[in-house]
Amino acid sequence: MEQQAERVRAAITDLTEDERIFRDSVYDFADRRVRPLVREMDEKATIPRALIEDLFGLGVMGVEIPESFGGAGAQFFHAVLAVEALSRVDPSIGVLVDVQNTLVINALMRWGSEDLKRRYLPRLAAKALGAYALSEAGSGSDAFALTTRAIATADSFRLSGRKLWITNALEADLFIVFATVDPAQGYRGITAFLVERLFPGFIVGKKEDKLGIRASSTCELLLEDCAVPRENVLGEVGQGYKVAIETLNEGRIGIGAQMIGLARGALDHAIRYTKERKQFGRAVAEFQAVQFQLARAATDLEAARLTVYNAARLRDAGRPFLTEAAMCKLFSSEVAERVTSLAVNLYGGYGYVKDYPVEKLYRDAKIGQIYEGTSNLQLQTIAKQILS
């Protein structure tokens, strides 16, 4: 245990050579394959299916899935590195990979029966995209105030209700859907189900027209007496709240990775532009006021990166990470908003138009303080832990 703890402490500040090679290879893919599509994906609010297939081919869609099931057999930390690298180019692609790994696959790996793993992990590693359906119109931050019902029958559960804000919904083949088997039991009645897209009574509804991460689909789901086999219960009946809480703790680290990748991309653009842009006879980057702003942004970003890496290392080491996950999501989302705002400012008028990349990253950054637990919820979690 002491050796494991020492590895966590030593690894926070840097990456191993293998990890660096992995991250850089994903970034190289993003730079070559994703960057040329960013503008079009944002405008059309869609991700080409061919790009999703390429992500499966790259191996980032099943990072923790064992090799025996067709996955990469790597660690959670590698998934975090992949999300960071992709988000540096387009956070919409980063969150698509994030939800697949940190929410859907994570939940199935931890809570799924051997039968569920055998049936679904190979598909998730090879071609099936996953989505995570918890939120409803009346249950956002109060996640367990959901009203979607699951009525037990002899061989199945019949799900009826409406889910909102579901990432990856337009493209997903498999959904983790949370419903209550008994509203009188409160959160103890909540159960998680694996629902296939083609199950009768399951409908992907309206696609939202969003401010940022527009290529990432966000849709409502309609369940109309949708029959789900009993064997597709994830975990046990009434344990859905545990599935949600534990999975979302890890998902917050993934969002932290998305935010630091996004901020890094914006800072890269800002540094490059200020070196090229001339005012008053010299490059903007030669002015001390600009240098200091960039230095502050780089410092904030490095601090945010370390909080994300720390939380991910703790998770892989089997150590408590609840507080660290909340801290990394809170801080990295704030840093992303500040750094992207600075990038727009440094671009001046060019930063405010869609012909240049920082306008999009500024829009993309805002969601980090909202989804998978608002900043106020992260503060509440942190305060509860430090005061207990």
Catalytic residue annotation: 372
Q: Which of 139, 222, 244, 232 lies closest to 183, judged by CA? A: 139
Helix (H, G, I), strand (E, B) or coil at 370: coil
The strand pairing partners of 157, in sequence order, are 152, 228
**DSSP H helical ranges for the chain:** 2-11, 17-29, 38-44, 49-58, 76-87, 91-98, 106-111, 114-126, 240-276, 288-316, 322-347, 358-365, 375-387
CA atoms within 13 A on the CB side of 116: 24
**Tell me, what amino acid is at 79?**
A
User: Could you tell me which residues come within 8 angstroms of residue 168 by beta carbon, excluding any fewer than 6 positions away?
Assistant: 96, 99, 100, 129, 130, 131, 132, 216, 217
Among left, alpha and beta (phi > 0; psi -120 to 50; other), residue 209 is: beta
